[in-house]
Amino acid sequence: MATPLVTPLFSPLALSSSRNRHSCPKTLFQSKNGKTSDSSATQKLNQTRLRKTDGQRTRFLQMGSREMSFGRKLSTQAMDGAGTENTSTTISRKVFAATHLLVSLGIILAADQFLKQAFVAASIKFPSALFGMFCIFSLLMILDSVVPAAATGMMNFFEPAFLFIQRWLPLFYVPSLVVLPLSLRDIPAASGVKICYIVAGGWLASLCVAGFTAIAVRKMVKTEMTEAEPMSKPSPFSTLELWSWSGIFVVSFVGALFYPTSLGTSARTCLPFLLSSTVLGYIVGSGLPSSIKKVFHPIICCALSSVLAALAFGYASGSGLDPVLGDYLTKVASDPGAGDILMGFLGSVILSFAFSMFKQRKLVKRHAAEIFTSVIVSTLFSLYSTALVGRLVGLEPSLTVSILPRCITVALALSIVSLFEGTNSSLTAAVVVVTGLIGANFVQVVLDKLRLRDPIARGIATASSAHGLGTAALSAKEPEALPFCAMFLNPTRTLNRTTYRVAGSLDRSRANRGLINELILLYNNISAM
């Protein structure tokens, strides 16, 4: 008995044979004994054909799979190529952006230095940066009236530099606070208390005068407020920047500790870690929650981090705090410190205001009455009230003159006090920064208490009393007030500079009568008005 052949039920051969039996008719042969049977030759032939068909089908499926696999490989290669191209494009854009920033910022810095040298050579006492600002603004206005596309192109070209200055603006005020312990050393404690009283009370009085003046003029002229041009905002600080500056600080601090004169002088050797400590303080302070920044401004964080770094280095090296602070701000062009580098941008800050003025030129023209009336009133009030209060409380005349320009930016305040003899420029810078910090922390609360709701009045009052620092704090929460702050700052600087220029000329023309007698005469003239 033959053993039956067992075929798997779901094998390809069994399925093919089953399909063939249903679709193909059987060929039957009548044998001699009368029985029917399939021809074995026919079965073999059918099986051979089925094997060929299955083989072709299998090869067809395999071919399709190979074609699909090849297509996937091509697609993957195309995606890899596109990714590489995108990466190279991104790198190219970053390189171009960095080059654009360096060129535009370099031109502004070079223009500032050129104007300074030219004014010194010509013995011109007017601030060179202020002159440059008006030149840039005038050039933009001329181009806008003749070839508007050229003015737009010029604005776009210098926008990276403008955003860079706007991003790091508070840093340029910090050096005066860092060296404040050296500045206040020779000032009696009683005089220091009087100065604090004048600064705090003067800020509040200037805020009220400028704000209510703007409201009164607006009611008279009845000018409707229009929307300001949108201003570009600088990018926030990244983690990479934080770690990069941290690395620079650690390496340069250790290097300066073991090799104190590796860069030629102690000021140059300490410059990298003192500069990085200031930058790190600003980055960390800017990232603090808003509730903390109300009482702990990023500028305070900057100054504190710089002083702590100087204190740590003075303790580790055995030199003490004072020599390190002296290296922070040397005021020597041939041997600059970290503070000298930062304050070297102050002239460029003034030049950059020309671009913000041009962008808001329509708003300046529309609200010229409110702006210029408030400028004149607040400037004269700040000047004469400071002088009168200083005389009433018995503050030394030299210190009174040093704090006269308390409501304008550091760059112009320093140039103003240089017109007088016997003044303390470090005290001037410190008073200006402290005034700005008071405004930055309390301006919104005070404006709300005074019920000054109008954006124009709020912007003008802030700029007149707390200059750039107060403006930055207000615009962070009330961007609609920023254009009016920016518009107010520049005319205020101009009028302040002109007023003090006249007083300085008077002081030099009567120098033979002695400094104290001249200041007393100036105060008497002020009191008589």
In tens, the pLDDT along 418-458 reads 777 777 887 888 888 888 888 878 888 888 888 887 777 88
- Confidence (pLDDT) at 298: 83
Residue 33 lies in a domain: no
- Confidence (pLDDT) at 474: 66
Res 504 pLDDT > 50: no
Average pLDDT over every residue of 265-292: 91
Res 329 pLDDT > 50: yes
Q: Is the Cβ–Cβ distance between 431 and 407 less than 8 Å? A: no
- Confidence (pLDDT) at 42: 53
Binned at pLDDT 50, 70 and 90, residue 490 comes out as low
Average pLDDT over every residue of 492-517: 44
- Confidence (pLDDT) at 226: 61
pLDDT cut 70: percent of the chain above it: 70
Strand partners, 38: 28
Binned at pLDDT 50, 70 and 90, residue 73 comes out as low
Residue 201 lies in a domain: yes
Residue 361 lies in a domain: no
Binned at pLDDT 50, 70 and 90, residue 101 comes out as very high
Res 313 pLDDT > 90: yes
**Cα–Cα distance between 179 and 169 in angstroms, integer?**
18
pTM of the predicted model as reported, rounded to 2 decimal places: 0.70
Average pLDDT over every residue of 378-398: 87
- Count Cα atoms within 13 angstroms, Cβ side, for 76: 6
Res 519 pLDDT > 50: no
Supply the range of the domain harboring residue 399: 179-223+367-529
Question: Is pLDDT larger for residue 422 or for residue 336?
Answer: 336
- Confidence (pLDDT) at 45: 53
Question: Is pLDDT larger for residue 445 or for residue 68?
Answer: 445
pLDDT cut 90: percent of the chain above it: 24
Res 359 pLDDT > 60: yes
Res 59 pLDDT > 60: no
List, in sequence order, every beta strand (DSSP E) within 320-443.
none
Which amino acid would we find at residue 511? A
Q: Is the Cβ–Cβ distance between 166 and 234 less than 8 Å? A: yes
Average pLDDT over every residue of 270-293: 90
- Confidence (pLDDT) at 18: 47
In tens, the pLDDT along 118-175 reads 998 998 877 788 889 889 999 999 999 999 999 999 999 999 998 898 888 888 878 8
Q: Is the Cβ–Cβ distance between 253 and 313 less than 8 Å? A: yes
Strands 28-30 and 36-38: antiparallel
Q: Is the Cβ–Cβ distance between 457 and 214 less than 8 Å? A: yes
Q: Average pLDDT over the chain, rounded to whole? A: 76
Average pLDDT over every residue of 67-84: 54
Please report, for residues 168, 245, 252, 270, 524, the alpha-carbon distance to residue 313 in angstroms, rounded to integers and kept in the order given.
Answer: 25, 17, 11, 9, 49
- Count Cα atoms within 13 angstroms, Cβ side, for 501: 11
- Confidence (pLDDT) at 278: 94
Residue 5 lies in a domain: no
Binned at pLDDT 50, 70 and 90, residue 64 comes out as very low
Residue 402 lies in a domain: yes
Average pLDDT over every residue of 56-63: 43
**Cα–Cα distance between 513 and 20 in angstroms, integer?**
130
**Cα–Cα distance between 15 and 30 in angstroms, integer?**
29
Residue 93 lies in a domain: no
Res 11 pLDDT > 90: no
Residue 126 lies in a domain: no
Q: How many domains does the chain have?
A: 1
DSSP for 387-398? HHHHHHTT--HH
Res 527 pLDDT > 80: no
Res 31 pLDDT > 70: no
Binned at pLDDT 50, 70 and 90, residue 251 comes out as very high
- Confidence (pLDDT) at 32: 42
Residue 490 lies in a domain: yes
